[in-house]
Amino acid sequence: MQNVESELEKGFEILRGCCGVPGALDYFFLQAKKYFCFEGQACGREVLILGSAFPEELLMAYHIRPHWVVGGGLAISECADSLVPRDADAVSRSALGYIKTYQEKTERKPPVIIPIAGDSQRKLSYLLEEDGWTVYPLYIMPGASSASLSFSIAGQLDEIMEKLSLRWLLPGTTRGIRRAVQKTSRAKDAFFELCNDPVIRLNGMVRHFLNLTWFYAEDLEEWTERITILRDSLRETQLPSTREYPGVLVIGSPILFPNFKVPQLLDACGLEVVNCCSWVTGKTCPPEWTGNVSIFNRQEALQQLAAVSFKHESSGAFVRNRDLYDQALRQLDGGKVRGVILHILKGQIEYDFEADRLEQLFTHRNIPVLRLETDYHDNDIEQLRIRLEAFSELLKQSIHEM
């Protein structure tokens, strides 16, 4: 586990330097360390969820702990080397490595929920079933309309929860779902207020890391409280002056901690990450469904959960990725984006299919685009640095000419 710990500490050191307030991120670092090193993790009723496309409110209503498996580490992915091909995409490899390491460190095999929208998830489902895991697939129809998608997912959610409730003899109530919705809404509100506070200038890497800690935290209510405390701390502390860097939007393959190679390079080359558009951002976007919405029965609750949970799904596996396009458009309207980084992880060609349509959008706004194809290794750092430095100079020059 030393490799994993070293990788984490390297990421923590980068983030400490970006925050400006000593100790402000310690709680979030501890959550990340527990998550990746499997230290003191709770036992009991727990479900591993591969990816982020599942309404956690439903599990919380049944008092089942959602344990997200989103991947992200290079060291953790080594456990999957014997199971997946060399050119498998880095996110799938690291997620599978996390599950295998989880089994080795905890000696547990809880049920696994796998939302399946593409071939990678389908293969991982097969590999885990062959290894004796209980897998509950959630099939997402990539080309479906919103109405038909919600109807299909609501039925599958009902079936999955029926199996889990029988497994542990758990009753689920509509009132429990309503309470869970209120809890997640408070968490989203707290994060949104932190990121949009007019007094606080939050570094892009720190903001993205905090977004990801939603998945690392064992207690969402404690996470919400800590986000609020962090906001108060940053507001009360005189932050050091920061350099004015051109703002860039990172879009495409998800950037996951502790592999922060690309954001670190952007910072070193004089570029500031304004935001990242990826499939993980929907968890802490401003909530569109608050706990005050009336839920009269279980079926209505399932329908609403399905509709809201997948409204912001921007996985590259979707045939026509409307939400990824809409996320980019909203960021451009903010006026801070001077350039766009199209981030493509090797093996995730589905994000490349979006490139042409997105580039047309950015070209129409006179915003330069740089495509970066990479993986989780450091072999190409110098090559990427040269390209990013040239891109940074281009953006700085364009600002001076305005």
- pLDDT tens-place string over residues 258-282: 988 898 899 889 998 887 776 555 5
pTM of the model: 0.89
Distance CA 206, CA 187 (A): 17
Note the helical H segments in 269-380. Answer: 298-309, 322-333, 355-364
Full DSSP string of 233-282: HHHHS-PPP-----EEEEEESPP-TT--HHHHHHHHTT-EEEEEESTTGG
Q: Give me the helix-helix angle, 298-309 and 146-168, nearest 10°.
A: 120
Element (H, E) at 301: helix 298-309
For residue 332, the tally of other CB atoms under 10 A from its CB is: 18
What is the share, in percent, of the chain residues with pLDDT greater than 90? 34
State residue 280's pLDDT score.
57
Q: What proportion of the chain, given as a percentage, has pLDDT over 70?
A: 87
Q: Which helix (H) or strand (E) holds 374?
A: strand 369-374
DSSP state of 219: -
pLDDT at 292: 47
State the DSSP H helix or E strand holding residue 66, giving kind and residue range, or none if neither: strand 65-69
The pair of three-digit structure tokens given for residue 331, joined into one six-digit string: 């960021």
User: What's at 183, amino acid-wise?
Assistant: K
Output the pLDDT for position 149. 74
pLDDT at 331: 78
Q: Which two tokens stand for residue 63?
A: 């008092």
What's the rounded mean pLDDT across residues 64-75? 90
Tens digit of each residue's pLDDT (9 = 90 or more) over 229-243: 999 988 887 555 455
When the pLDDT of each residue in the chain is averaged and rounded to a whole number, the result is 84
In the predicted structure, residue 341 carries a pLDDT above the cut 90:
yes
